[in-house]
Amino acid sequence: MWMPMWWWLIPLMIFLMMRGRHRPALRRLGGAGEREIVAELRRTVDDQRGCIEELEGRLTRVEEGLEFAERLLVERSAPAT
């Protein structure tokens, strides 16, 4: 009576044993690839930070120019007293 309910236990045990045996080998192979991916992502982040800093500098110069232009327009439109 109990035997039909346990038919899945043997394949499960075999699967778990096989999976556990190959895991360290996969980690060794994947470890170098993961380091390369992390290094590539760090280079990309550093490049993006450089671009952001450059754009922030340009934006600051544009804001200063806009404020200067606004001051000139206010001076020209104000009546001479």
* Nearest CA-CA partner of 18 in 30, 6, 28, 10: 10
Q: What is the DSSP string of 43-63?
A: HHHHHHHHHHHHHHHHHHHHH
Write down the domain spans for the chain.
28-65
Residue 28 to residue 57: CA distance in whole angstroms:
44
**Residue 41 is which amino acid?**
L
What backbone phi and psi angles, to 5 degrees, belong to 8? -85, -10
pLDDT for res 27: 55
Residue 80 to residue 43: CA distance in whole angstroms:
58
Model confidence pTM above 0.85:
no
Written as tens digits, the pLDDT of the chain (81 aa) is 456 666 777 788 788 877 766 555 545 555 567 888 899 999 999 999 999 999 999 999 999 999 999 999 999 988 765
């280079």: which residue's tokens? Answer: 43
